Structure 1
Amino acid sequence: MAPVILFEAVFGLQLIFELRGANASKIKIGYFRLRQKSAGGLQKAVAAWTLFSKRFEFVSVFMTKYKLQRWLTIFLLILLSSVYFRLTTLHAQTQNLGLENGDQGAFLEFTQNVYESNFHFMGDRNQMPLYAYLQALFFDPQSGNAFLRAKYVNIYLSVVLLILTFGVLLKYRGRKNATFFVLVIAFSLFIFRAGYSQAELLFYFLIFISFLLMGLMLTRPSKKLGILTGIVAGLAQLTKASMLPGLGVFVFFYGINLCVYLFKALRNPVERSTLLRQVRTQVLSLLLVLICFIGMIYPYIHQSKQIYGQYLYNVNSTFYIWYDSWDEALQGTIAHGDRLGWPDMSPDEIPSFSKYLREHTPAQIMARFQRG
């Protein structure tokens, strides 16, 4: 139990599987939580949701009695969908007008290169390829406005992701909680990001599903679940190169869980055979997670090794993170071809963690944390 709760706290999303007695008013939202500036604000939010829940139940009973619930649900679904589409398209047409906003120009160029290479181009190791490949499926060089088309593709993608999220939560948290959660993320997060040609929404969804699967792996591991977890985690890594820390946290707490079962097996001769079978299932399930994860990303990392000399080569985490400004990066590894291969620079000029520590004082390092 303890490894499960610790894992969920560290990973950041607090849809807690082990607290089965928690009611709807106490459900916690991690990645998409409503930001409260004080404990009092959080208490007010919980109280408001509790009141909403009670009134929702009363209205639900009334509507069921008079057989109007289905029609009201359809009406509200159409209304909310129309509002969502209207606001996201309006934002895309009036607010998001520049390709320079959030590297959208780089993603659009990436998409075009994927399309023109017949889906063989895997990128210059600045962005991960999955989102560009998805956009390339709908890319049309004759459209006249590829940027606007890409934004609309992302809006429709956001709707698909919301529907999938609702379907997943409907199975594990019930209709009311699933509805509330999807409405929160739709109108407090997705609505502001859908009109941008960026990979963030796809990554949010994949890492969310990865977390749910990892939580299930900690409570009831199986070979089928291990395969699915590895595949989804691999897709998340191919969307943004930020999945490895989460996978490492999962493996760490999974290992603790495994040690607990081994300890129980050693101290309980009566149930030792049963516990050892569970341990074998856990080990095999974890191996399947890692094998499937590596299998999903292997074509990409294999090409990285061939061209750039490292399996996990990424210009942002390898070089740019150690520069103090973008101008330094432009004059440094970018000017020396870091997108085409390993930069043509002397080893002492290549930015790295050790070089950064040598050239910066503790005060400078702390100042960087403060200003970002």
Structure 2
Amino acid sequence: MVNPRRNVKSGRRCIADTEPPEMHKRPGLRLWHALALAIGMWAGVTVARVILHRDHGLHAQYFSQPTFSGSIAAGGIDREISTAQVYRRFNAVPPDAFSVQWSGYLQVDRASDYTFSTTSDNVSRVYIDRELVVFNPGGPQLTSALGHIQLGRGAHLILVQCAHTGGRFAMDWSWTRQGELEPVPDWALSTTPAFGAALVARALSWLWWVLGGGAIALGALPWLQSGQFTSGKQALVFSARVALFVMLGWFFVSAATKHSVAVNTFKARADQSGYLWDAEQVYANVNGRVPPVLIGGRARMPIYAGYLSLFYTPLLTDAEFFAVAKVWNIRLAIVLIGILAIVFAWHLPPLISTNLSLIVAFGYFVFKAGYAQPELLFYFLFFVAFIACWHLLRRRERGRGIAWGCLGGTAAGLAYLTKALVPPFIILFLGTLAIDEVFRLARRSRRGSAQEEGKGAFGVSFLLVVYPYIANSKRILGAYFYNLNTTHYIWYDSGSEARIVTMPSTDQDGRIHMAAEQLPTARTYWNTHSLSQILGRFKDGFKDMAGRSFTAYAFWKYLLLYVAFALAVIVANRRAFFDLVGQRAAVVWFLVLYAALYLTGTAFFVPISGTGSMRFLLAHAAPIFFVLSYLFARPPFSHTTWVVRRWQITPTHFHGLVFAVLCFDLTFTLWPRLMSTFGGF
């Protein structure tokens, strides 16, 4: 016999206003002011660093002849003197013969005897205060040469030269006051003799890190002060959780690295070669290619390519860059998991947030970390946008409404620039918010609200982030939100058909040179397909989602457990649940329509992707697990008790069961599955 018991008073107002203890405790106003001040100071220092950094580097002249004369092939301000910098200037293809000279000022912060060194394949020289300090004649192989000079504190004229007459180019230089040689830092190189500015820039660099760390610490204080350390036992539990996450973080990196080497061995699978190519194009654009090219051909978005370009150098081979990209995607993944764990801990009780963090990390993040793909970055940004929308629909505070709107709009904009799947979500959210506001105005007959301000902040922030990209699309391709996949390919019956028909007429910018009547649209698709064909496409898509969810990754059983338990607590608290639905109608309708929109949209898109549904479906795993976890943590659902004979069963037993299953999976089943599952699809 199962007998549900509820430990809260029934009543509409009580249920609506009651939050889990970990959710309703918020920092005081002074803490928020301190956090805002720290963020403001950090932003100010960032701007100052950018302004002062403009003078960092040396004037560079790249000559077409190896004699430091003749026509100038390239020029500008180089932040460093290195082989990689020369390759950047020549867009990764330096000529057979050329010469370079860098001139400006060397900023010395301490008087001493300095040693300088150059390593080059041909002649190189270093002049300081018009005195020759290093002369390296070069040779058939790389040659290094040293020189010494006494320098006083302040700015010193400097001229560095190198020539190249064939073979593989190399040029690097270094210095030391005492000890080992090391690269000359960029703060020591300046186009002006202003020594004080160099010292200020160096001090600001340290201050930037201090203020950034302080802002992070202040941001963590609300959670640390949320009542979790009222006893030594709670402090011990917190320490155990930190130790657990550190150990599991190490395991995550190790497992993802092993998977990237053993399973993900072919960069042409799952669009990885496309993103590596895009990263190389971003690198070339940033380093002066004229004219710059559009990134991704409007089939792939630019943010992730920009991230990978930070770690690209023309000295890397294709295989080496593939390996580097996988390493940095794993590092990005562990950072994103850490941030998500903090967000979960801020919203949920310890055990529930720990379970959620582990499900996200080892249910699917670890399977996709070792790939040169933007999916994990997109999942993270999409979840941040979702959380912001969640708070905007729930809360009425004006100041926080604007803050959540700015955060949500910015995250949604970055998510769109990572994968072009966000516009329907934005339309749905803003439409829900607008309809909810109309009903509230009708009931209360008042003007303006926190929701209205939050909606405006959301929209403005989104447009500020995406406008340069969509304006370029409008100028070149004729539509603001143009994307090959969502504009054209989706209306074909398969991705292979779409590519066979359009690729011969598609240029590198993503423009299809075909007559408009030859390209399918929603109207032509509807007119040329029967209802049974359309429904069959949806059916095949849903079958793919169910099958791949069960056979790939490791989150499916947890989703089944969470859905089953949610039904159990809802049935046990029916009145409270219906009261909650009535009072949070906007949130409920948003969640229902969001699920319906993206499930059906993903099912319809499956034939076009060529890789199945999971890459798209996983974007919604964290939101659904979060919503269910939030429901479990909210009274009266968190206080539900079932009596089975003489045993009392509570939600805590369920969360303990989930944690036990997670431990079992991590110990026995995860590794074999990880080493046999290709996570790119």
TM-score in terms of structure 1 length: 0.76
1:79-98 deviations in whole A, cap 9, x for unaligned? 21222111101110011111
**Which residue number corresponds to residue 297 of structure 1?**
466
SS in structure 2 opposite 1:97? coil
**Which residue number corresponds to residue 167 of structure 1?**
342
1:318-337 deviations in whole A, cap 9, x for unaligned? 11111223332233222112
Structure 1 CA distance for aligned equivalents of residues 354 and 240 of structure 2: 14
Q: Which amino acid aligns with 2:528?
A: E
Contact residue 307 and residue 341 of structure 1 kept, 8 A:
no
**Which residue number corresponds to residue 104 of structure 1?**
272
Which is richer in helix? 1
Q: Which amino acid aligns with 1:367?
A: G
Contact residue 299 and residue 510 of structure 2 kept, 8 A:
no
SS in structure 2 opposite 1:139? coil
Contact residue 315 and residue 338 of structure 1 kept, 8 A:
no
1:142-201 deviations in whole A, cap 9, x for unaligned? 233111111111100010101111222222224433322111111111011111111111
**Which residue number corresponds to residue 230 of structure 1?**
409
Asked whether 1:130 is paired with 2:303, we answer yes
> 1:197 and 1:68, CA in 2 relative to 1: closer, same or farther beyond 3 A?
same
**Which residue number corresponds to residue 424 of structure 2?**
245
Structure 1 CA distance for aligned equivalents of residues 18 and 306 of structure 2: 40
Asked whether 1:317 is paired with 2:491, we answer no
Contact residue 319 and residue 333 of structure 1 kept, 8 A:
no
SS in structure 2 opposite 1:124? helix
Structure 2 CA distance for aligned equivalents of residues 23 and 74 of structure 1: 21
> 1:73 and 1:23, CA in 2 relative to 1: closer, same or farther beyond 3 A?
closer
Moved more, 63-72 or 360-369: 63-72
Structure 2 CA distance for aligned equivalents of residues 98 and 175 of structure 1: 40
Matches within 5 A, 1:1-372: 20-21=18-19, 64=232, 72-73=240-241, 75-118=243-286, 121-144=294-317, 145-218=320-393, 219-220=395-396, 221=398, 222-266=401-445, 275-276=446-447, 279-337=448-506, 339-340=508-509, 342-371=511-540, 372=607
Q: Which amino acid aligns with 2:373?
A: Q
Q: Which amino acid aligns with 1:232?
A: A
Q: Which amino acid aligns with 1:177?
A: I
Contact residue 298 and residue 510 of structure 2 kept, 8 A:
no
**Which residue number corresponds to residue 269 of structure 1?**
none
SS in structure 1 opposite 2:502? coil
Structure 2 CA distance for aligned equivalents of residues 341 and 66 of structure 1: 56
1:225-263 deviations in whole A, cap 9, x for unaligned? 222221111111111111111112211221122123212
Structure 2 CA distance for aligned equivalents of residues 342 and 231 of structure 1: 28
TM-score in terms of structure 2 length: 0.43
Structure 2 CA distance for aligned equivalents of residues 154 and 352 of structure 1: 36
Q: Which amino acid aligns with 1:368?
A: R
Which is richer in strand? 2
SS in structure 2 opposite 1:370? helix
1:53-90 deviations in whole A, cap 9, x for unaligned? xxxxxxx99x9459865764454334212221111011
Contact residue 234 and residue 294 of structure 1 kept, 8 A:
yes
Q: Which amino acid aligns with 2:284?
A: E
1:266-307 deviations in whole A, cap 9, x for unaligned? 3xxxxxxxx43xx24432321221111111100000110111
> 1:306 and 1:83, CA in 2 relative to 1: closer, same or farther beyond 3 A?
same
> 1:292 and 1:67, CA in 2 relative to 1: closer, same or farther beyond 3 A?
closer
SS in structure 1 opposite 2:504? coil
Structure 1 CA distance for aligned equivalents of residues 494 and 409 of structure 2: 36
The unaligned stretches of length 5 or more in structure 2 are 1-14, 23-227, 541-606, 608-681
SS in structure 2 opposite 1:239? coil
Structure 2 CA distance for aligned equivalents of residues 151 and 237 of structure 1: 22
Deviation at 1:100, TM superposition (A): 2.7
Structure 1 CA distance for aligned equivalents of residues 517 and 383 of structure 2: 40
1:14-58 deviations in whole A, cap 9, x for unaligned? xxx96855699xxxxxxxxxxxxxxxxxxxxxxxxxxxxxxxxxx
**Which residue number corresponds to residue 31 of structure 1?**
none
> 1:282 and 1:117, CA in 2 relative to 1: closer, same or farther beyond 3 A?
same
The unaligned stretches of length 5 or more in structure 1 are 1-16, 25-59, 267-274
Deviation at 1:369, TM superposition (A): 2.5
Larger Rg: 2
Q: Which amino acid aligns with 2:521?
A: S
Structure 1 CA distance for aligned equivalents of residues 454 and 239 of structure 2: 45
Q: Which amino acid aligns with 2:404?
A: L
Q: Which amino acid aligns with 1:246?
A: F
Structure 1 CA distance for aligned equivalents of residues 334 and 505 of structure 2: 41
> 1:69 and 1:353, CA in 2 relative to 1: closer, same or farther beyond 3 A?
closer
> 1:72 and 1:323, CA in 2 relative to 1: closer, same or farther beyond 3 A?
same
Contact residue 252 and residue 334 of structure 2 kept, 8 A:
no
Deviation at 1:350, TM superposition (A): 1.2
**Which residue number corresponds to residue 117 of structure 2?**
none
Structure 2 CA distance for aligned equivalents of residues 66 and 227 of structure 1: 35
Structure 1 CA distance for aligned equivalents of residues 234 and 357 of structure 2: 27
Structure 2 CA distance for aligned equivalents of residues 72 and 214 of structure 1: 33
**Which residue number corresponds to residue 35 of structure 1?**
none
Structure 1 CA distance for aligned equivalents of residues 269 and 390 of structure 2: 35
> 1:212 and 1:94, CA in 2 relative to 1: closer, same or farther beyond 3 A?
same
Contact residue 309 and residue 342 of structure 1 kept, 8 A:
no
Structure 2 CA distance for aligned equivalents of residues 130 and 18 of structure 1: 40
Structure 1 CA distance for aligned equivalents of residues 531 and 510 of structure 2: 33
